[in-house]
């Protein structure tokens, strides 16, 4: 799935010219019981994960894949990755967040530059990688029937959720937004 996410970067003009670093945490604690969210995996799953990480290194180059020795969680993985980069900005993208439409990153960075005191981070809302279904109440389907939500409806819902987000603009030479 990581390769599909990287492929979705085509929607972000200029990103292909930026350095790429993929961070992979450890597989987890090997035991008899599989509980991935708690960090418990079988020896077989740990071996498959190690092979997957090795395949990423082969595909992207070993210097583009940071392999952490342990499963430390998202926050510590981000901290380890950020410690290795020297760029002014970073774009963090999780393994299941794909971009589905163009984003003007150059404009985003200009807005960040113009609002340095207030704007430290920009979040890009992404539809879930698995689609929910809806029935008669929202979608107009017969009772009990289900149909996938359209991308437009998902985006509308996400937009409503983000409705309280503050808007920032580019500042003109006189300092106005």
133 belongs to a structural domain: no
Domain of 43? 19-85
> Confidence class of residue 175 from pLDDT cuts 50, 70 and 90?
low
111 belongs to a structural domain: yes
Q: Looking at the structure, do residues 78 and 51 belong to the same domain, yes or no?
A: yes
- What integer pLDDT is reported at residue 74 of this predicted model? 86
- What integer pLDDT is reported at residue 131 of this predicted model? 45
Q: Looking at the structure, do residues 1 and 53 belong to the same domain, yes or no?
A: no
Residue 7 has pLDDT above 80, yes or no: yes
Q: Looking at the structure, do residues 80 and 99 belong to the same domain, yes or no?
A: no
Do the beta carbons of residue 55 and residue 65 sit within 8 Å? no
Do the beta carbons of residue 146 and residue 134 sit within 8 Å? yes
- Going by C-alpha positions, the residue among 93, 99, 119 that lies closest to residue 108 is 119
Q: Looking at the structure, do residues 95 and 8 belong to the same domain, yes or no?
A: yes
Q: Looking at the structure, do residues 72 and 53 belong to the same domain, yes or no?
A: yes
Mean pLDDT score across all residues of the chain: 77
Q: What is the mean pLDDT of residues 88-92?
A: 89
Residue 18 has pLDDT above 50, yes or no: yes
Q: Looking at the structure, do residues 14 and 97 belong to the same domain, yes or no?
A: yes
- What integer pLDDT is reported at residue 135 of this predicted model? 46
In a 10 Å sphere around its CB, with 0-12 CB exposed, 13-18 middle and 19+ buried, how is residue 65 labelled? buried
CA distance 115 to 112: 5
Residue 172 has pLDDT above 90, yes or no: no
Count CB-CB contacts under 10 A for residue 98: 18
Q: What is the mean pLDDT of residues 153-168?
A: 50
CA distance 111 to 176: 12
Cross-strand bridge partners of residue 133: 148
- What integer pLDDT is reported at residue 173 of this predicted model? 59
Q: Looking at the structure, do residues 80 and 26 belong to the same domain, yes or no?
A: yes
Identify the three-state secondary structure at position 147: strand
Instruction: Quick: pLDDT tens for 112-121.
Output: 999 988 888 8
Q: Looking at the structure, do residues 53 and 101 belong to the same domain, yes or no?
A: no
Q: Looking at the structure, do residues 33 and 114 belong to the same domain, yes or no?
A: no
Q: Looking at the structure, do residues 77 and 25 belong to the same domain, yes or no?
A: yes
Instruction: Quick: pLDDT tens for 19-42.
Output: 999 999 888 888 888 887 788 888
Do the beta carbons of residue 39 and residue 29 sit within 8 Å? yes
Q: What is the mean pLDDT of residues 46-54?
A: 91
Q: Looking at the structure, do residues 24 and 46 belong to the same domain, yes or no?
A: yes
CA distance 17 to 28: 33
> Confidence class of residue 137 from pLDDT cuts 50, 70 and 90?
very low
Identify the three-state secondary structure at position 22: strand
Domain count, the chain: 2
């Amino acid at each position: 799935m990581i390769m599909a996410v990287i492929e979705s970067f085509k929607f972000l003009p200029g990103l292909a010219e930026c350095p790429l670093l993929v961070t992979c945490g450890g597989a987890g604690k090997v035991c008899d019981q599989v509980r991935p969210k708690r960090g418990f995996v079988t020896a077989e799953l740990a071996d498959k994960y190690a092979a997957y990480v090795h395949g990423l290194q082969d595909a992207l180059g070993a210097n583009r894949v940071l392999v952490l020795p342990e499963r430390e969680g998202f926050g510590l993985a981000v901290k380890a990755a950020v410690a290795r980069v020297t760029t002014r900005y970073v774009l963090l993208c999780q393994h299941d967040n794909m971009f589905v439409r163009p984003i003007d990153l150059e404009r985003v960075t200009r807005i960040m530059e113009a609002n340095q005191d207030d704007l430290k981070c920009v979040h890009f809302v992404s539809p879930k990688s698995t689609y929910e279904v809806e029935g008669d109440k929202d979608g107009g389907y017969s009772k009990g029937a289900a149909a996938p939500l359209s991308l437009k409806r998902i985006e509308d819902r996400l937009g409503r959720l983000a409705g309280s987000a503050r808007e920032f603009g580019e500042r003109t030479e006189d300092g106005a937004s």
